[in-house]
Structure 1
Amino acid sequence: MNTAPTVIPAIAADGSLYPVEKLKAHTDGLFHLAVSVFVFDGDYLLIQKRASSKYHCGGQWANSCCTHPHWNESVDSCAERRLTEELGFSVPLSRRKVVEYSADVGNGLHENEKVTMYTGVANRTTLQILPNPLEVEDTRWITRDALHAEIAQHPERFTPWIRIYAERYPELAF
């Protein structure tokens, strides 16, 4: 098992990228690259409950998957890799838009991200989901209306980023 720190692309003030250890990006609130994937079946979105052991937002519901590209990894390759690593399946992904957000994620950690968003389509009745238990505690399909209602009623059950996405980017996935 590789225990070396993960190095991700941070974004300098001039827009250039530089390598930084992932945890440092979050402790220092450095602006960095990320990807978010949304897998749909019609009006249903596949969401995941992050493993309780995750270093931030464990046990909270998030979009289908999200992560950071490794240093020198393309965002497209990263989105495809992470979908397979976290949920054990692959579907064709379409790049949708790039957004930025910043949020406190607890335990002294802060997300400050430039996120490339992707969507994919799957058949929820036949898709075989094989969650990696180190990453994902549970998955479920939820309609957009039900997701909005649950976020409004119990925001603490959802990661800061999915709450932000639902509020700011309804044209993308909500």
Structure 2
Amino acid sequence: MTVMIRSAEPRRSATGDEAVIPAIAEDGTLFPIGKLDAHRVGQKHLAVSVFVFAGDRLLIQRRALGKYHCGGLWANTCCTHPHWGESPSDCAPRRLLEEVGLSLPLQSRSVVEYRADVGNGLIEHERVHVFRGDVDVPFDVSSYNCDEVQEVAWVTQEALRSEVAAAPERFTPWLKIYLGRWSELALQDAA
């Protein structure tokens, strides 16, 4: 898929939000927008989600309480927005290292879209580039960034689905969407 850029220079958002991300216009072109502005108006934008596996166990994270939305809720290994001018394939390993402290090869798996109310008047309307990473065995992930992540856990998909069914309020809207559309993520191990 060819991505067209409508504007070459990022602009500062109307609210002064300095995090500028790629938004998607109705004609498919990209334009820069402040991250919070995109969420306030529900503008479709690019995003990245990373899923790191150790065999049948998925590394999930509980978002730090200070996050601007969904603080304290469990999510997949890592999720974020590319900076304006940054590709999803460059963004995914950068953010995995920044959030969880892991550096490992990632495989691009799929692109999915969703729209979800994430609370506080904010909407996630994302075209998500999904990536998979693999490690040999679950290990103690203690190098995560406490400003981004409150805790981490290795879980099987079965256990995760059971926990989400028992206490859905403990999980981010996008993780629940991902579980409901699991086959679209194309995360099955290629080996």
Aligned residues: 172
Deviation at 1:60, TM superposition (A): 0.2
Would you say 1:66 and 2:94 are equivalent positions?
no
What is the DSSP-based 3-state SS (H/G/I as helix, E as strand, rest coil) of the residue aligned with 1:30? coil
> Partner amino acid for 1:74?
S
How many angstroms apart in 2 are the aligned matches of 1:112 and 1:126? 33
Deviation at 1:125, TM superposition (A): 4.2
Unpaired runs of at least 5, structure 2: 1-15
Deviation at 1:5, TM superposition (A): 1.3
Deviation at 1:129, TM superposition (A): 4.1
How many angstroms apart in 1 are the aligned matches of 2:17 and 2:44? 22
1:20 to 33, 44, 54: 33
What is the DSSP-based 3-state SS (H/G/I as helix, E as strand, rest coil) of the residue aligned with 2:115? strand
How many angstroms apart in 2 are the aligned matches of 1:140 and 1:114? 26
2:170 to 136, 157, 161: 157
Unpaired runs of at least 5, structure 1: none
How many angstroms apart in 2 are the aligned matches of 1:20 and 1:53? 22
- In structure 1, the residue matched to 2:108 is 95
Are the aligned partners of 1:89 and 1:129 in contact in 2 as well (CA < 8 Å)?
Answer: no
Q: 1:45 to 1:102 in 2, by over 3 A?
A: same
Mapping of residues 21-100 of structure 1, within 5 Å:
21-100=34-113
Deviation at 1:127, TM superposition (A): 6.1
TM score, norm. by length of structure 2? 0.86
Deviates more, 1:91-100 or 1:119-128: 119-128
Cα RMSD for the two superposed structures? 1.6
Greater relative contact order (CA < 8 Å, ≥ 6 in sequence): 1
Spell out, residue by residue over 1:64-98, the C-alpha distance to the aligned partner (whole angstroms, 9 max, x if none): 00000000001001001000000111111000000
